[in-house]
Structure 1
Amino acid sequence: MAKETRARMIDAAVVALQQRGLEGMSFTDVLARSGAARGAIYHHFPGGKSQLAAEAAAQHGRDVLARLADLSATTPRAVAEAFVDFARPVVEASSRGSGCAIAAVTLPVGEDGDELCHVAATAFASWSGQLAAALSGAGLSAEDAADKAALLITLLEGAQVLSRAAGSTAPFDRAVRAALTLFDAKP
C-alpha cells in the first residue's frame, strides 16, 4: 500500500510539473490528485519538494524512454515520422497550457537546481540515445543518427514552448515540415 501511495504521489507530481512547473507545484495539489494523506509527504519524500520533483522527472523520463523504445521503422524518415506521431499529442497538450515535466525542473530553484538539471539532462540524453539507436538501426551512420536524434528532441522540447505561447500547434507543424526533409537527404 505504501509503495502504491508513493507511486500515485509521483504520478501526481508529474502532472503538477506539466501544468504548473516546478515553482507552481504544491504539495496540496499532489496530495489532492494522489489521494495521499498529508503525513505521506515527508514519509515518502524526506528531501521535500526537490526530492519529489526529481523523482517525478526521473520517472517521467523513464516512461517516455519506454515509449520511444517502441519506435521502430525500416527507414530513417519512417523513424522520424513515428517520433512526430508520438510527439504530436504532447505538443497539442502544450498548446492548451501543459508543458514538459522534464523541462520544468531545468529552471533551477535554490540549491537543488544542479541536481534537478542533472535529472533532466539524464532523461534527455536517454531519449536522444534511444532515438539515435532507432535511426542507426534504420540505416544512418552513428554520428548522423546522433545529430538527427538531438534535432528531434530539440524540436519536441522547443515546439512545446512555442506551441504553448501560440496556443496552437502551428510552430510544431512548421518545424516538422522542415525537419522531415532532412531525413530524405543522403548522409
Structure 2
Amino acid sequence: MNAGAEPIQDGRFAKGAATRAKLLDAAGELLELHGYAGTGLNEIIARSGAPKGSLYHHFPGGKAELVAAAVTHVGRERAEEIEQVLEGCDSTAEAARLIVDAFATRLEESNFQVGCPIAPVTLDCADPAVREACGGVYADWTRLIAGRLKDDGLAHTAADELAELALVLIEGALVVSRAERDRGPLDRVVGHLDRLLT
C-alpha cells in the first residue's frame, strides 16, 4: 500500500464515524420525542442529513439495530453527565437534587416533550435487542448512583437497592410530569430522595 492512501482511508473513516454519529444523535432525539413506533427511518435520515444508503451501511439490521445503538449512545452521554454531577457534589442527595432539577428544567423548556431519552423506547418496543440496550442503560445509571452511595459509606447491597429505588423514583416522576405537563411530580420526588439518600 502506498503512503498516500493512508490519509484517504483515515478521512473516510472519520467521515463514516461522523455520519454514524449524526444518525445516532438524530435517532436519539426523535425517539425521545416519539418513541419507537412513532419514529420512522425516513425521519431519522432527514434529521441527520445523511444519505439513505449510509443508514443501512452502518446499521444493516435496520431500525432495531439503529435504535439499540442510539439508546446505548444516548445512555452513555447521560451517564457522563450523571457522573460529572455525582463527582462534583458533596453528597448523593445533593447530586440527586441537581439531576432531578436538570431533568425538570429540560422538560419544561421543551414544553413537556422530552424528559428521559430511554423511557419512551422502553415502554414502546418489544424488540429483544432494543430492550436489552434500554436495560443496559438503566443498569449503568444505577451502578453510577450506587458507586457514589458506597463512597458515602453505605453497604454494597443497601447502596445497590437504594440506587435502583432512586432511579425508579426519578424515572416515574419524569413520566408522570410529562403526562401531566407539570414539573410538580419531579419537584416532590426531590423531597423523598433527600430523605432516602441522607
Interval containing the TM-score (normalised by the shorter chain): 0.7 to 0.9
* Match among 162, 165, 180 for residue 179 of structure 2: 165
Equivalent AA in structure 1 for residue 96 of structure 2: F
User: In the aligned structure 2, how far is the partner of 1:178 from the partner of 1:163?
Assistant: 16
Secondary structure in 2 matching 1:52: helix
2:72 corresponds to which residue? 58
Answer yes or no: is the 8 Å Cα contact 2:36–2:120 preserved in 1.
Answer: yes
Inter-CA distance 73–41: structure 2 relative to 1 (3 Å threshold): closer
Residue segments in structure 2 that go unaligned for 5+ positions in a row: 1-14
1:107 corresponds to which residue? 123
Q: Is 1:87 aligned to 2:100, yes or no?
A: yes
1:72 corresponds to which residue? 87
Q: After the TM superposition, which parts of structure 1 deviate over 6 Å for at least 4 consecutive aligned residues?
A: none
User: In the aligned structure 2, how far is the partner of 1:52 from the partner of 1:106?
Assistant: 15
1:139 corresponds to which residue? 153
User: In the aligned structure 2, how far is the partner of 1:38 from the partner of 1:154?
Assistant: 37
Inter-CA distance 67–2: structure 2 relative to 1 (3 Å threshold): same
Answer yes or no: is the 8 Å Cα contact 1:80–1:152 preserved in 2.
Answer: no
After TM superposition, the score normalised by the length of structure 2 is 0.83
Inter-CA distance 109–172: structure 2 relative to 1 (3 Å threshold): closer
Equivalent AA in structure 2 for residue 103 of structure 1: A
Superposed, which structure 2 residues align to 1:33-48 within 5 Å? Answer: 33-48=47-62
Q: Which structure has the greater CA radius of gyration? A: 2
Inter-CA distance 73–99: structure 2 relative to 1 (3 Å threshold): closer
C-alpha RMSD over aligned residues: 1.9
User: In the aligned structure 1, how far is the partner of 2:60 from the partner of 2:131?
Assistant: 20
Answer yes or no: is the 8 Å Cα contact 1:73–1:138 preserved in 2.
Answer: no
Aligned length: 180
Shift in Å, 1:48: 0.7
Shift in Å, 1:74: 7.4
